A = this chain, B = another copy of it.
Amino acid sequence: MFESAELGHKIDKATYDAEVPKLREALLDAQFDLAEKPKFPVIILVGGVDGAGRGETVNLLNEWMDPRYVQTHGMGEPSDEEMERPMMWRFWRALPPKGKIGVFLGSWYTWPILNRVMGLTKTADLDQSLERAKRLEKMLTDEGALIIKFWLHLSKEKQEARLKLLEKNPKTRWRVTKRDWEHYKRYDKFLAVHEAVIRHTSTAEAPWIVIEGADARYRSLTVGKVILEGLRKRLAEDDKKKVAIVRAAPLLPSIDKLHILKALDLTQKLEKKKFAEELEKYQGKLALLTRDPRFKNITVVAVFEGNDAAGKGGSIRRITSAVDARQYQVVPIAAPTEEERAQPYLWRFWRHVPRKGRITIFDRSWYGRVLVERVEKFCSEADWMRAYHEINDFEAQLERSHVIVVKFWLTISKEEQLRRFEERKKTGFKRFKITDEDWRNREKWEDYEQAICDMVDRTSTRLAPWTLVEANDKNFARIKVLKTLCQRIETAMKKIEVK
């Protein structure tokens, strides 16, 4: 795997000096074209062995390219903020938008490699990390990203020579640390793990480019040219002609017309007095739970989806009014902002993943991908088909970092929806709540029903189950929501006691 990167590649000064001005100009041109028509983001990972010139390469890229369109991220030890969230959160928040280039010095590979070499993890753990990395990269490239992964390599002899050379020069001495020499001692172990990483994660969509790091001119020129050709190729492509292939059989509606929504008993009701009692009971419970010292170790992500006019807002307010305002955040999901449209669809949700001790309530969510975007054909079949897997993966990552994911689908009947629409039209202060779009959606009732059923079938897991809420009676729905939320928090809290 490293044979080509141990041949002693070299570029002489004259060639380098002649090539660099042309390369820089071409890179700036390509960068400008990318910024002009921001069709895709560029994600550049710079990995490799110590002393192979990773830092210098990143610095050079910043020198050669227009810094307005390049973001550099040195990914060292995670911060407190980052430690309280899933491992990938720090990378999500650093992703470049379409039209820009993100350069990562240290990536989702850094810690899995180090931990394995230091013996803190087993091969199976490394494999799991690599699979996670592959899933992330697959999703990013499916969303259009150009990922270029550079691996700067040095043979053992060259690494030793390089570290000694840096140490000898007073100007560069500071760059060689004790840790570099410790890593050098483990060269063979590192090599074995590096090879496994490159072998497992050199995929068709994001292959590693292994480059000999010993000669700075060779290394720099190669990196520059690979980026240039990558940019040029993608810029020249007509994205409209490229439609992802769907290989699966179509998802069919149930043949006996029975489905989970029909199986709900929408006649369930809660009388006013009973409702008041229950509301007091569960709001009180929620207030106590969220003020419990153990709640500091708990994170809640609550998702509200439902038919138009099903009463999501009302249910959410019954939660928030019981919780300290500093603890919760409600994220209403409407059409994505310009900034959000320039990112993979999950980005706008990742950015709101809360720290510990907090509750984030999504009023509509990432499930828009498999609901409105599917039904209205805002995305292709291939896009929403892969979304189930991506969403389960996202929620599994949340769950792995001990986030409670509570998902509510509020159901009302078609008749009840009509009644509420009419009422909204009539009532002055509610009129703004009803739009033409709501009426249009209503015409696609059956399409939405199938999308909802497929969604529940494919994303209701024991880690993050869907709770279907019968919402023809608002009071009944509100109590069911509150009660479910309390139960989930209680269950999680009990586990903390056990520890």
Contact = CB atoms under 8 A, between A and B. Distances in A.
A242 interface: yes
Interface string A448-464: 00000100111011100
Contacts of A146: 247, 249
A458 B202 contact: yes
A5 to B, nearest CB: 8
A199 interface: yes
Given A148-B249, A242-B245, A256 B9 contact: yes
A426 B222 CA distance: 45
B4 A259 contact: yes
Contact of A1 (B8, B207, B255, B460): B460
A218 B256 contact: yes
For the complex of A and B, the 3 pairs showing the least CB-CB separation, nearest first, are A230-B249, A204-B386, A124-B124
Nearest to A141: B247
Contact of A233 (B206, B226, B250): B250
Contacts of A145: 247
Contacts of A246: 204
Interface in A372-424: 382, 385-386, 388-389, 392, 396
22 contacts: A1-B457, A3-B456, A3-B466, A4-B259, A8-B258, A122-B124, A124-B125, A124-B128, A148-B249, A199-B396, A202-B388, A202-B389, A203-B386, A204-B385, A204-B386, A204-B389, A207-B251, A207-B458, A225-B252, A225-B255, A229-B249, A242-B243
B4 A248 contact: no
By CB atoms of chain B within 10 A, which of A131, A251, A466 has the most? A131
Interface string A211-250: 0000000100110011101100110000000111111111
A145 B205 CA distance: 20
A396 B200 CA distance: 10
Contacts of A127: 124, 127-128, 131
Contacts of A227: 249
Given A255-B222, A386-B203, A245 B248 contact: no
A446 interface: no
A165 interface: no
Interface of A: 1, 3-4, 7-11, 122, 124-125, 127-128, 131, 141-142, 145-148, 192, 195, 199, 202-207, 209-210, 218, 221-222, 225-227, 229-230, 233-234, 242-252, 254-256, 258-260, 263, 382, 385-386, 388-389, 392, 396, 453, 456-458, 460-462, 466
A195 B461 CA distance: 7
Given A199-B396, A207-B248, A244-B245, 15 more contacts: A1-B461, A131-B131, A141-B248, A145-B247, A192-B462, A204-B248, A204-B382, A204-B389, A207-B388, A207-B458, A218-B255, A225-B255, A226-B249, A229-B252, A230-B250
Nearest to A206: B248
Contacts of A230: 248-250
B247 A456 contact: no
Contacts of A203: 386, 389
A177 to B, nearest CB: 29
Contacts of A234: 249
Given A3-B456, A4-B259, A4-B456, A233 B207 contact: no
A140 to B, nearest CB: 9
Contacts of A210: 457
A7 B250 contact: no
A207 B390 CA distance: 13
Contacts of A244: 245
A263 B6 CA distance: 10
A75 B483 CA distance: 47
A124 B462 CA distance: 18
B457 A3 contact: yes
Given A3-B460, A259-B4, A205 B247 contact: yes
A221 B253 CA distance: 13
Nearest to A10: B256
A192 B461 CA distance: 10
Contacts of A233: 249-250
A195 to B, nearest CB: 6
A239 B61 CA distance: 41
